[in-house]
Chains A and B, each alone.
Chain A
């Protein structure tokens, strides 16, 4: 299945400047599985911070959240609004 990964701010710069990327994963993969897959790409991806919040389809999710085909998964760096 394919999911779309969105990257913001410092994460995007680590990953070479691309704001989004499509990742193919085994069915029933979790958010943690996706993060492991991204880090395994090496380069800047390997240095994605251990501490990251994740949103699936625009709501905060946990590492064990199971993903589905077409999900929009955003890596959320520590937020700094206001």
Chain B
């Protein structure tokens, strides 16, 4: 079972967790990314996520499929939110269930690391004391000159 989504709605961790698990799975790993109230000492008021929606949906589905294979056919669910988020809101949530903890942790970690490397999403941080800024990111592997 794999499931993925790109959404502008609030993410409910319970809903993501409910998408994984089966009687043979003894381990469930869950990861959430949350908007922080500061970055490098600057007070942050919120984060604005922009995505290449159609490609982000396709890429997240591919990442989740790869993670399920790594977990030996484990159950993997992941959702990434776009739009303006306030401090404390969930931007990304990942749930994995597998027979044992090692595969579950490994697959959840794989999903968040691959999101950081290749999901076409950008974020603009809003500050309390200055103008908003696009954050420096990671250049995906395929590169033109």
Q: Residue of B at shortest CB range from A6?
A: B52
In the assembled complex, which residues on chain B have CB atoms less than 8 Å from the CB atom of A54? 142-144
The answer to whether A76 touches B138, judged by C-beta atoms less than 8 angstroms apart, is: no
Partner pick for A77 among B91, B137, B144, CB 8 A cutoff: B137
Query: Does chain B have a CB within 8 A of A16?
Result: no
Pick from B54, B137, B143, B144: contact of A79, CB under 8 Å: B137
Q: Would you give the 0/1 interface string for A61-82, flagging 1 where the beta carbon is closer than 8 Å to chain B?
A: 1110000000000101111111
Q: Is A51 an interface residue (CB 8 A)?
A: yes
Contact with A along B118-144 (1 / 0, CB 8 A): 111111100000000011111111111
How far is it, in angstroms, between the C-alpha of A76 and the C-alpha of B124 when the chains are bound? 15
Cβ of A79 and Cβ of B118 under 8 Å apart? yes
Q: Is B42 an interface residue (CB 8 A)?
A: no
A-chain residues with CB within 8 Å of residue B140 when the two chains form the complex? 53, 60, 76, 78-79
A52, B54: Cβ atoms under 8 Å? no
Q: Are B144 and A8 in contact (CB under 8 A)?
A: no
Which residues from B are CB-within-8-Å of A61? Answer: 142, 144
Chain B interface size, under 10 / 10 to 19 / 20 to 34 / 35 or more: 35 or more
**Interface contact A80-B121, CB-CB below 8 Å:** yes
CB-based contact B115/A78 at 8 Å: no
Answer whether residue B17 sits at the interface, using C-beta atoms and an 8 A cutoff.
no
Partner of B80, one of A6, A77, A81: A81
Contact of B112 among A10, A32, A82 (CB under 8 A): A82
Instruction: Please indicate which of the listed interface residues B50, B52, B142 has the most CB atoms of chain A within 10 Å of its own CB.
Output: B142
| Interface set of A (CB-CB < 8 Å, partner B) | 6, 8-10, 31-32, 35, 50-55, 58-63, 74, 76-82
